[in-house]
Structure 1
């Protein structure tokens, strides 16, 4: 049975850090964060106001399916809207894991106009200032980019070929997030994002949802036990969580404090990081 929902216990790093080159600045925030209250009544009204919506850059499709006979969860991010007029529109980021192992593998790749994708398996970035690194070909890993997919509607098929063996891939879309359309952000189905960062014992999954209060954001973070598959902790997050980093999978990283992770929050023109307690034994929260 999954553990109950906990309100995040956190240390806020309110230093509005300058973002490294790969990071876009926060693009929207609730109206209440921009208004200096003139009276208690005004402040209360603003606090209850619905989220202010501005166009974002997340285009996410989540899939479940199989590689060979092994069940997998796959999440892919494309950049057609924000990079529409340059080569960056064909970039793909992603994260996937085998259900039996629960250790997310970062993906970097390219897509073609006809729906074909080539995806490379990368190492996890050292921090949110870094990108996942695709290793060079080696005798033990002849093809660092083993995944070839063709997306058609809500299905994707292809092969996983590492140069030593070839396995068929069959995927079906189970969720979609697209907040690039200002008036009508789209969130359908299950948008659970396997973050690139994980601890030694837990996979971290950002649960994205929409609410009247917060709009679309990461509303909670699940710590999934790698060994058992059990959700050991679900941490409720404040509005604006998980909407800052260019790659959605980089919105959760390691923290300086034991048993904490760093979650990115949007806030006006600058994002900020907040250290959130996982509520797990300290040995469980160490990086992999």
Structure 2
């Protein structure tokens, strides 16, 4: 009697194991950082006892708090600008025929495949040629250049699911073009815009490469500041900073996902991507 399991049953056992191993490999460093951020001792290799000592030290570091504040308000400004411009761009592309939107859509997609180091160097050369002093303004400009593409992708995926007959009905009832946009289109794409805003905020806040090339000699964004700390030696404060950044990213990610899930954007975006 052959007791060998069918191939599909073997795959059913192997796939969960492989998935668990991959997730463990990805999450192990994050768990390590979070646990050792509460370590009393200075060692980052042996845990002694639980303590919030390094969080207290972190919030007493004025230079680090200035970098944190800089990264926060830069990310907020970038998210606002990118959401506005990216939404307008998505609206424009959605009104073009597929052949007409191919070229601008392809150029927009270059952002996803362009190495970030190339983008950072290009921005540095551009700012130097234009005679601009590196400052928070140049950081904002650099971040907006790639965040717009992400916003446009999210919002355009939502626009692909809208019913054109609703707009036509609004026009038949006397609504102007501005009225259709304000009363019909924007309320329907608002959840997608919120998700895009959160995504742009996270991308800007967490960016290192473009921030490194676009920041000046004054206050550095938080990722660049952390890089400077690492060059001088790893301290447990790094774990505390990392834990705070992980918590902030998870919070914004959960908020965006809940909004998208409640409005059905996740399903709609998946369907639009499959349709393409």
Q: TM-score range by the shorter chain?
A: under 0.3
Higher helix share: 2
Higher strand share: 1
- Greater C-alpha radius of gyration: 2
- TM-score of the pair, normalised by structure 1: 0.25
- TM-score of the pair, normalised by structure 2: 0.26
